[in-house]
Amino acid sequence: ASIPCSAYRSSWNMPRIEWKFQKGSSLVLFYYGGELTEPYKNRIQFSPTTIHFNTVTREDTGKYICEVVGDGSQIAKSEVNLIVQGTAAPQPPSLLCRPPGPARPRRRDAVPPSHA
């Protein structure tokens, strides 16, 4: 799952980027000072415009807030609500992001045509 940071401005000089996760009244700062914090450190890939989860669980459901502060007085913020549904079993992100392809059962009794 990828979450965009639409607040990022490439024209700003050396912007400071912070990511926060809000669930109910709880607010966790999980990316600041160029570092990811636990338990996100090994689960997320960061770029200035996006965070990408290697795996997601229902516990990741909540609001993700990206805050960008420029070297002047500029501040921009964007928010994305992530809702994780389905089974709790871990699955590769590729299976979560697109529907499965058509099933192609193989017949065990199929005999290849002879080359007579």
pTM given for the model: 0.70
pLDDT value, residue 39: 87
The residues, ordered by sequence, that sit 6+ positions from 113 with a Cβ below 8 Å of its Cβ are none
SS3 content of the chain, % helix, strand, coil (to 5): 5, 40, 55
Nearest alpha-carbon partner for 86 in 43, 50, 45, 55: 55
Q: How many CB atoms lie within 10 A of CB 15?
A: 19
pLDDT tens across 11-52, in order?
Answer: 888 899 999 999 999 999 999 999 999 889 999 999 999 999
Q: Which sign does the torsion angle of CA 34, 35, 36, 37 carry?
A: negative
pLDDT tens across 68-108, in order?
Answer: 999 888 999 999 999 998 765 554 444 343 334 444 444 44
pLDDT value, residue 71: 84
**Topology (CATH) of 2-82:** Immunoglobulin-like (2.60.40)
The residues, ordered by sequence, that sit 6+ positions from 31 with a Cβ below 8 Å of its Cβ are 17, 18, 19, 37, 40, 44, 46, 51
Instruction: Break the chain into its structural domains and give their ranges.
Output: 2-82
